[in-house]
Amino acid sequence: MADKSVSDGYLVTEKLVKRFDEALAVDEVSLSIGQGEIFALLGSSGCGKSTLLRMLAGFEKPSSGRILLGGQDVATLPPYERPINMMFQSYALFPHLDIWENIAFGLKRERLPSAEIKQRVGEMLDLVQLGSFAKRKPHQLSGGQQQRVALARSLAKRPKLLLLDEPLGALDKKLREQTQFELVNIIEKVGVTCVMVTHDQEEAMTMANRIAVMSSKGRVLQIGTPEEVYEYPANRFVADFIGHVNLFEGRLSVDEPDRCAAATGIGEIHVAHGVSGPLNMPVTIAVRPEKIEISQQRPAVDKNIFTGQVKEVAYFGSYNTYLVRASDGQRVRITEANTSRHDLSKIAWEEQVFFWWGDNAGIVLRD
């Protein structure tokens, strides 16, 4: 469920559409985003994320649909009259200006009194903790620090809505992870409503209160908290897009209000929820790799237990991943947390193993 502390409907889009010639870039997107919420648009390259953001900012005119901010229809307002600031996919700082001047740039252009500019730039430098770097040029800062300057520059105008297009795209993986937390802290401190775009699901999960997962054709397939889209994906596309998942195809063999089962290629799979569908209908059961257990010894369980042969073992430091070939040939991905340093019962390539999971590990996807 969505966090009830955020009031719903501060930024609302109603069936927003953008067509370029005949090609649909954004297809009937309806969103309702609460004040103070950090909302992520997540999807693969070319799915329409930037186009959607550019419509919110006013750089692109919707083909149809409405955009409401605080109840006001902003569709007809030019970008500079919207209380919105957008940080672009390639946020270029001005290389010849120092950090202070970079942050002050937009405020000067708005002809704010110089005392006010001074005060706001000071606040922003404190906020992003770069006060001591005010006189440096951008190239004298690390990537993560430059990123924070770009954010400070966007926030200096005190927008009501902050739009971030791939805010961390320019950073390498390690710096990205660190900067994700810093950004969220800064955004939450200011309390500004934020819509961010990313194609990185971990980034969306770490930073956002809620996520809209977009299909490759500009449609929103599911909106939910990180936990909801991970644990209860609405369909195969979302399940597959967010993290790793094993998908077992089968036909519904049991259907009761609180449980069901399906006959699949690896055997009968039991699930702890009903689907209210006709018996024999095709279903897909999704099981996350970390919910599956693996051992050379048969465990004392009687359901959802299968056998297979280990085809690959990968060691990732904090966890191991196994690819196991099940009886029907399907590769099943299993991850196991690495809790001990010297594991005596190490599972090796080509070994016969048992793998199993609880009733509530799997969910049934209907499309």
Ligand X SMILES: Nc1ncnc2c1ncn2[C@@H]1O[C@H](COP(=O)(O)OP(=O)(O)OP(=O)(O)O)[C@@H](O)[C@H]1O
Which stretches of the chain bind ligand X, using CB under 6 A?
20, 25, 43, 45-51, 89, 199
50 scored as a contact of Mg ion (CB under 5 A): yes
Least Å from the CB of residue 50 to Mg ion = 3
264 scored as a contact of Mg ion (CB under 5 A): no
Which of 170, 254 has the CB closer to ligand X? 170
Which of 20, 349 has the CB closer to ligand X? 20
Which of 44, 338 has the CB closer to ligand X? 44
Least Å from the CB of residue 159 to Mg ion = 20
Least Å from the CB of residue 94 to ligand X = 23
Least Å from the CB of residue 205 to ligand X = 17
Q: Which listed option, ligand X, Mg ion, none, makes contact with residue 62 (CB within 5 to 8 Å by class)?
A: none
Residue of this chain nearest to Mg ion (CB atom): 50
Contact 95, 140 (CB under 8 A): no
Contact 199, 211 (CB under 8 A): no
Least Å from the CB of residue 135 to Mg ion = 33
Per DSSP, what are the bridge partners of residue 248?
Answer: 285
154 scored as a contact of Mg ion (CB under 5 A): no
Residue of this chain nearest to ligand X (CB atom): 50
CA gap 296, 94 in Å, rounded: 60
Q: Which listed option, Mg ion, ligand X, none, makes contact with residue 47 (CB within 5 to 8 Å by class)?
A: ligand X
Three-class secondary structure of residue 202 per DSSP: helix
Q: Where are the beta strands (DSSP E) in the chain?
A: 11-20, 23-33, 38-42, 64-69, 72-73, 84-87, 161-165, 193-198, 210-214, 220-224, 246-256, 259-264, 267-271, 282-287, 293-295, 305-315, 319-326, 331-337, 352-356, 362-365
Strands 246-256 vs 282-287: parallel, antiparallel or unpaired = antiparallel
For binding to Mg ion (CB under 5 A), which residues are involved? 50
